């Protein structure tokens, strides 16, 4: 919890234009924390692993390692609450990292990898195995927890032509993005 450590560097990164926010966004702070966590994982890896030798398989290992810190109940196929979004009683099924948290984490680490000098074509966070794993986790958790992970955007009916004068929240893309980001962080906390 180094809440104060980033304060001094944040001030130096201010641009004279003033358009940049005075402190790193929650996304940037989270990305830095995630990157440090991954770096620590590599250092503690046996045998130790350099970033250059890191592959999609190592990313999967890291994601599975994180499951032990998860807070999302994922019911086993034999559990009577399998597919129940709100189980009426406790059960011994394991806690896991929620799919949305893993998906967001991989996105942040994928960006951080390239910001820290990694080449896009070698990015282990963009590996096909990682994408397939995330899709698998999403489908499994969706069935096990009885929740749908369909993107909400797809459900919106297309706007009929000429409806441009109706005010919609989409005009304020900033607020909309902020709202989505908040939803992500709430899911991380859950």
Q: Give pTM, 2 decimals.
A: 0.66
Q: What is the pLDDT of residues 84-94, one digit of tens each?
A: 999 999 999 99
Split at pLDDT 50, 70, 90, the class of 190 is very low
Using CB atoms within 10 A of its CB, is residue 144 exposed (0-12), middle (13-18) or buried (19+)? buried
Neighbours of 105 (CB within 10 A): 22
pLDDT computed for residue 21 by the predictor:
53
At 86 the three-state DSSP class reads coil
Using CB atoms within 10 A of its CB, is residue 49 exposed (0-12), middle (13-18) or buried (19+)? middle
Using CB atoms within 10 A of its CB, is residue 92 exposed (0-12), middle (13-18) or buried (19+)? exposed
Split at pLDDT 50, 70, 90, the class of 172 is very low
pLDDT at 31 over 90: yes
Cα separation, 84 vs 165, in Å, equals 42
Report the mean per-residue pLDDT for the chain: 79
Split at pLDDT 50, 70, 90, the class of 148 is confident
Split at pLDDT 50, 70, 90, the class of 168 is very low
pLDDT computed for residue 162 by the predictor:
52
Say which residue, 17 or 39, is predicted with more confidence. Answer: 39
Q: What is the mean pLDDT of residues 39-66?
A: 94
Split at pLDDT 50, 70, 90, the class of 149 is confident
pLDDT at 177 over 50: no
Say which residue, 151 or 167, is predicted with more confidence. Answer: 151
């Amino acid at each position: 919890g180094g809440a104060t450590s980033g304060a001094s560097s944040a001030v130096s990164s201010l641009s004279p234009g003033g358009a940049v926010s005075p402190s790193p966004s929650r996304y940037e702070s989270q990305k830095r924390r995630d990157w440090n966590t991954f770096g620590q994982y590599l250092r503690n890896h046996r045998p130790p692993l350099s970033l250059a030798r890191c592959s999609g398989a190592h990313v999967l290992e890291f994601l599975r390692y994180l499951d032990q810190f998860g807070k999302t109940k994922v019911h086993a196929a034999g559990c009577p609450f399998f597919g129940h979004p709100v189980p009426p009683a406790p059960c011994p099924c394991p806690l896991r990292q929620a799919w949305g948290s893993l998906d967001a984490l991989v996105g942040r680490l994928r960006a951080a990898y390239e910001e820290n000098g990694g080449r896009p074509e070698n990015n282990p966070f963009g590996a096909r195995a990682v994408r397939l794993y995330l899709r698998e986790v999403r489908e499994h958790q969706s069935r096990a927890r009885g929740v749908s992970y369909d993107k909400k955007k797809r459900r919106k009916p297309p706007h009929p032509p000429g409806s441009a004068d109706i005010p919609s929240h989409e005009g304020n893309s900033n607020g909309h993005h902020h709202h989505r980001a908040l939803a992500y962080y709430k899911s991380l906390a859950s």
